[in-house]
Structure 1
Amino acid sequence: MIVYCNDYILAEKVRIADNFINRFLGLMGKKSLENGEGLLLLRCPSIHCFFMRISIDVIYISRNMEVLGIETLKPWSIGKHFRKTVHILELKEGAASRVKVGDAIVLN
């Protein structure tokens, strides 16, 4: 899947995690993320980075695909809570540097 934000490609190799097991396992075990690689957690309002080896950029997304919050998480940390979060996009650290709260996320 390709993810756009503000008419640019945010990531072009995004996997979907749409069930409990895929969301739970997420990026655990990954030693790195390539440029353009990410994970979209559907129907997932919060995350943790327990058992992870890498830092990631996290974008919290509303039901209407609006960016509610952005943060960089280190391994063994817990993400912030952003009200009305429905989906979460996990990207390589630094990949969300152009994203701002209020931006629209488009999936293709």
Structure 2
Amino acid sequence: MATLLLPTGRTLPLEIAESAGARRRGLLGRDGVTGALLLTPASSVHTVRMRFAVDVAYLDRRLRVLSVRTMRPWRIGRPRLRARHVLEAEAGAMDRWGVRRGVRVEVRSGGLDGPGSLEDSGGK
């Protein structure tokens, strides 16, 4: 488990899905998520067989938000140019957290050395 540092200074629990299997599984089979899930590397997501709507933030290699959208279940998102990571949370969370286009988030702990360590490891 890692920590997501938001632009507001607030921290949240963060799961990181780095393996192909973990990225494929994502939030499938769950009824919700505490905090957020980071899929890395990733440039698109789908919500086929999901039980709830999610907010999706597409991040570049420096963890800057390229775009945010809400996806209802049974949707397929288009790949985003320049996206290297995808952050998922329950619908409405990104707005409450201040996560919007242009802001930068940080990932801490959970085997990572600190802010920016995802960009320094070539997207892992």
Same fold by TM-score greater than 0.5: yes
| 1:40 corresponds to | 38
Extract structure 1 runs of 4+ deviating beyond 6 A. none
C-alpha RMSD of the superposition: 1.3
One-letter amino acid matched to 2:50:
M
Of 57, 74, 96, which residue of structure 1 is paired with 2:72? 74
Runs of 5+ in structure 2 lacking a partner?
Answer: 109-124
- Which of 44, 55, 58 aligns to 2:56? It is 58
The letter of the residue matching 1:106 is E
Structure with the largest fraction of strand? 1
Letter in 2 for 1:8: G
Residue 13 (str. 1) matches residue 13 (str. 2): yes
Kindly, what percent of the aligned residue pairs are identical? 30
SS in 1 for 2:94: coil
Quote the Cα distance in structure 1 between the aligned partners of 2:37 and 2:45.
12
Separation in 2 of the partners of 1:56 and 1:90? 6
State the one-letter code of the partner of 1:68. L
Q: Which has the higher helix share?
A: 2
Would you say how many aligned residue pairs link Structure 1 and Structure 2? 105
Between the aligned partners of 1:26 and 1:33, the Cα distance in structure 2 is: 10
